[in-house]
Amino acid sequence: MELSAIIPAYNEGKRIGSVLEALNNANHLGELIVVDDGSTDDTAEMVNRNGAETQLLQLQKNTGKANALARGIEEASHEILMFIDADLMGLKSHHVDKMASTYKEGGWDMVIGVFHKGRLNTDISQKISPHLSGQRVLSKNLWEKLDKTTAEEFGVEMALTKLSLKENLSTTKVKLTGVTHVMKEEKRGFVEGMKSRLKMYGNIIKTTFTPTRPNQ
């Protein structure tokens, strides 16, 4: 089983190199697709340094994670997709292999990678809301069922959570020991980062308590 890894990236030149290194050394990936979502830093340059094995798609302006993922999926050659965030720290090839093999061997609809023993703040955040993790393995067919409007408004992760509830999907979590990411407050400054975080938590509450209709 080979997968297409889709990495949406916005101004992640400082971190994306180590993420790509981990993906390059993994066993199950058939291709790497980075979608540079209108970055103004050296993200594209860092991706190009990774070599010809990485496909780079450059969007002219920042359009958001949902659109960046959709654009990458359009170019994906394989039926099985892996989503990996570009701002991860501590990601190794064995984490990638663990997610891929769990999907392959367990017959799950979706595998979610969650941080474990990476950093206290991010560990706590994902224990409270593991469904917010951007590290996923799923099929193209499942992605096609996603409500793209919800994904753009509330985030891909919340849209996938709603889809999981609606479709009664079988999902499992894989611990990514030693992995963490850069928090919003670190990227945007405390005030702007906190505003973004509070908005995210508001979306969680709104999405969680919006009824979903089961399939007929």
| pLDDT at res. 158 | 86
| pLDDT at res. 91 | 97
Whether residue 208 is contained in a domain is answered as no
| pLDDT at res. 212 | 45
pLDDT tens per residue, range 74-97: 999 999 999 999 999 999 999 999
| pLDDT at res. 214 | 40
Considering the entire predicted model, what is its pTM? Answer: 0.84
CATH number, domain with residue 130? 3.90.550.10
Whether residue 96 is contained in a domain is answered as yes
Whether residue 202 is contained in a domain is answered as no
Q: Among 139, 173, 70, 29, which Cα is nearest to 19's?
A: 29
Domain containing residue 134: 3-183
| pLDDT at res. 61 | 95
Whether residue 31 is contained in a domain is answered as yes
Whether residue 130 is contained in a domain is answered as yes
- What is the total count of domains within the chain? 1
Q: Among 156, 19, 171, which Cα is nearest to 87's?
A: 19
Which segments of the chain have a pLDDT < 70?
Answer: 52, 123, 126-130, 183-216
| pLDDT at res. 68 | 96
Whether residue 142 is contained in a domain is answered as yes
Whether residue 211 is contained in a domain is answered as no
Whether residue 200 is contained in a domain is answered as no
Between CA 21 and CA 53 the distance in angstroms is 11
Between CA 102 and CA 135 the distance in angstroms is 13
